[in-house]
Every structure is written in C-alpha cells, then in structure tokens.
Amino acid sequence: MLRGLPRNQNIFFNECLVSLHRGSLLKFNAIILNIHYFSCMILVTGGTGLVGAHLLYRLTSDGETIRATYRTEKKLQNTKNVFSCYTKNFDKLFNKIEWVKVDILDVPSLDTALKDVTYVYHCAAFVSFEPNKHQLIRRINIEGTANLVNLCITNKITKLCHVSSIATLGNPIHNEAIDEETIWNPEDDNSIYGITKYGAEMEVWRGTQEGLNAVIVNPGVIIGGGIWRYGSGSIFKKIHKGQRYYTSGSVGVVPIKDVIAIMIALLKSDITNQRYILIAENWTYKTFMQAIAKSLKVKSPYKIAKPQLLNIMWRLDWLKHKLTGKRRVLTKHLAHTLSTNKNYDNSKICNALNYEFSPVIDCISEVSTQYLYQFPPDL
C-alpha cells in the first residue's frame, strides 16, 4: 500500500507488481494505460446532464483529477441531485471538480477547457425531438462535436469517448436484431435527434481519420436517478403521478452504472475507433412501465395507447404548441418510436470487454428508491 494515493491507484500499483511477478506482458500494458489514465486531467462535457453527472460521481469517487463543463450555475443543482442519490455528504466529492463555464459552440472557451487535458468524455448534447428546434439541435450536436473533435486534435488529446445513441443505427429489413453494422439509411424518415447524433458521429469518425483516438458508445434509454424533469427520470415521475397508458412498442434499456463502467473501461483500454451498442435488455413498454409502477408501489398503467391514438395525440400536441407556444411533448417521431418493436444486440461490447450487464429490474428498483427518497409520497 502506497501512502497518500487514492485506493484505486493503490490497487493498480499492487496489480502491477503482481503482473510483473507473473511476467504477463499484456496485463502489464493494460496496467500502464491505467496508471497513465489516473495521473491525467480528464474533461467531462455536459457535467450537468444525466450521463455527465453520474460519470462525475464515479470519477470523483475514484480519485481522478476532473474538469467539467457547465453552462449555467442553476443547472449545477442537477449534478448535486445526482450525487445525492449516492450519498448524503456529496459536497466533498462535488468540490473536487474544477468547473468551467463553456458552451461547446464557443471555440475559445472550449479551447481553454482543454488545456492540460489528456482524456475527454463528451456527454454534452441537445437531447430533443422538437422539429421547431431543428437549427439549434443541429448546431449543438454536430457543430459542437466538430469543435470538440478539432480541439482534441490540436490539443493532442490521448483519447475521446463520445456518447452517441442507438438513434444513429438503421432499421433492419426483416426485423432481425440491430447491431453496430445495421447501417443508417438517410432516406428513412429519421428524427431530427437521430440525424444530428448521426452527424456528430461522422465528425468523430472524421477526427479519427485526422489522427484522433476515439471510442463511441450508443446507449438506449438510460435508467438513472437524480434528474426527474425529463428523460427516463420523467417516466418514473409520470408513473408515480398515475400514468394510465402504456404503448405497444419495445425499448432497449441500460442502467446508468453500466454506461459509466463501460465508458471508463473503454477509455482506459487500448481499443480505439470502434462503436458499441449499450443495451442491457430489450423490454416492451408495457412490462417496463409496469415494473416501474410495481417498484414505486403505485397502480400500473393499464390502458394501451394504440398507434392510431398516438397519431391523434402528436397532432394535438403540435396544435397546442402552435397556439400556446408550449414546448412539444409528443412529436411524430416519438409517437412512432413508442409503438415500434426493435431488438438490439449487445454482444460486441460484451465480447470486447468481457462485460456482463447488471439486471435492469435491480436498476428500476434502485432508481425507484431514489425517487421515493427525494419525493416522499406523503409530501
């Protein structure tokens, strides 16, 4: 045990000695990469988002040196809420983060954020299906990623982990399972979110042609606690409030802890220029929503919202937006996704890292407990 070093670094030094003793060159290489990773500055973009905040919790717990981007002070509360899902005394870990105010569309501030950084996790994005926000979604997701990729190259970043989405994968012709080779079809009626996430991936691949080392992860719906206003957190909130309807489609889901563990393992590994689907299990919306309801101890959604009903609903949602200016909640593409059945194949990542995903039902139970802790039923 080396005094003064975080526990994880000590474990790796010990492993290093064991591996030297055994003469295992491969393992030794992996350990050298790990030691390099630990001694470096890591930048996380989108530190106030679901993925960024959970990643920051794990990285600060592991004793890493972290810089993270935020846009407004108000949103730092998101990160604190996420940290509070893990521990009451999160201030110590939260204060270890060097926060930098950066908009990824602002090249000079992004360049400053990258100074002395070795590894980058790119979690910042505009996650939205709203057609009226088309231009902004394009700019943040494609142009923002292009800016980051360019600056990673000029700042000689060792490796970038880019968070993409299963929305960038194509549709299989005969309903077979979707894998990393299921090619995107630009002729399909793709959502604005999918188009821009695909464009962002293209920027990362372009960067790899210019010498950048990168890995891309393509998660499905990520289940994690702490942010309840949108994303998977809002599903817990809606069901807790008494959601009556479920939809007829299926959903590829993944616990946040698996997403984070895989991102870290990929960045530390010598794997480069690959992309990986991150789906733990494929569920129907019905079983998914009913499992959440059971876990929250509330009535399960019991009525099916058939595609015909969703088609009426997204049109009404459009009309409401036009008349009142309120944000779109149900778009045409979202309605289609909710009633479509797809199956995702996760074997590429499982084989690459010898990884086993954790059971989704356990994650639903953990997130429900976090939700009920943050919003006790008698409040």
Ligand X SMILES: NC(=O)c1ccc[n+]([C@@H]2O[C@H](COP(=O)([O-])OP(=O)(O)OC[C@H]3O[C@@H](n4cnc5c(N)ncnc54)[C@H](OP(=O)(O)O)[C@@H]3O)[C@@H](O)[C@H]2O)c1
Helix spans in the chain (H): 7-22, 25-38, 50-61, 76-86, 91-94, 107-113, 134-138, 144-154, 192-209, 231-241, 256-268, 285-296, 307-324, 332-338, 347-353, 360-374
DSSP 44-82: EE-TTSHHHHHHHHHHHHTT-EEEEEES-GGGHHHHHHH
370: contact with ligand X by CB under 6 A: no
Contact status: 126 vs ligand X (CB under 6 A)? yes
Both tokens of residue 277? Answer: 């689907």
Q: Which residues contact 61 (CB under 8 A, 6 or more apart)?
A: 86, 93
CB 169 within 8 A of CB 131: no
Q: Does 103 bind ligand X (CB under 6 A)?
A: yes
Residue with tokens 């982990």: 161
**Structure tokens given for 9:** 């670094």
Nearer to ligand X, 8 or 171 (CB): 171
One residue of 93, 124, 216, 363 binding ligand X per CB under 6 A: 124
Binding mask 232-251 for ligand X (x = CB under 6 A): x-------------------
CB of 104 to ligand X, least distance (A): 4
Task: Identify which of residues 15 and 143 has a Cβ nearer to ligand X in the complex.
Answer: 143
CB 71 within 8 A of CB 102: yes
| Interaction of residue 221 with ligand X, rule CB under 6 A | yes
**Structure-token pair, residue 39:** 């001694």
SS3 184: coil
Amino acid identity of 116? Answer: D
163/122 Cα distance (integer angstroms):
6
Q: Give the range of 57-65, 100-108, 202-210, 326-334 binding ligand X by CB under 6 A.
A: 100-108
DSSP 179: -
| Least separation in angstroms between CB 78 and ligand X | 6
Rounded to the nearest whole angstrom, what is the least distance from the CB of residue 94 to ligand X in the complex?
15
Question: What's CA 68's distance to the chain center, in Å?
Answer: 15
> 265 near 161, Cβ under 8 Å?
no
335 makes contact with ligand X (CB under 6 A): no
> What residues between 156 and 185 interact with ligand X by CB under 6 A?
163, 165
Task: State the pairing for strand pair 159-163/65-70.
Answer: unpaired
Q: With binding defined as CB under 6 A, does residue 226 bind ligand X?
A: no
Tell me: does residue 49 bind ligand X (CB under 6 A).
yes
| Smaller CB separation from ligand X, 31 or 292 | 292
Binding of ligand X by 107 (CB under 6 A): no
By CB under 6 A, which span of 42-50, 153-161, 309-317, 360-368 interacts with ligand X? 42-50
How many residues touch ligand X under the rule CB under 6 A: the total is 29
Considering beta carbons, is residue 71 or 96 the nearer one to ligand X?
A: 71
User: CB-wise, 138 or 336, nearer to ligand X?
Assistant: 138
Q: By CB under 6 A, is residue 94 in contact with ligand X? A: no
Q: Considering beta carbons, is residue 30 or 278 the nearer one to ligand X? A: 278
Decide if residue 138 touches ligand X (CB under 6 A): no
Stretch that binds ligand X, among 97-105, 150-158, 311-319, 351-359 (CB under 6 A): 97-105
Interface contacts to ligand X, rule CB under 6 A: 46, 48-52, 69, 71-72, 75, 102-105, 123-127, 140, 144, 163, 165, 197, 219, 221-222, 231-232
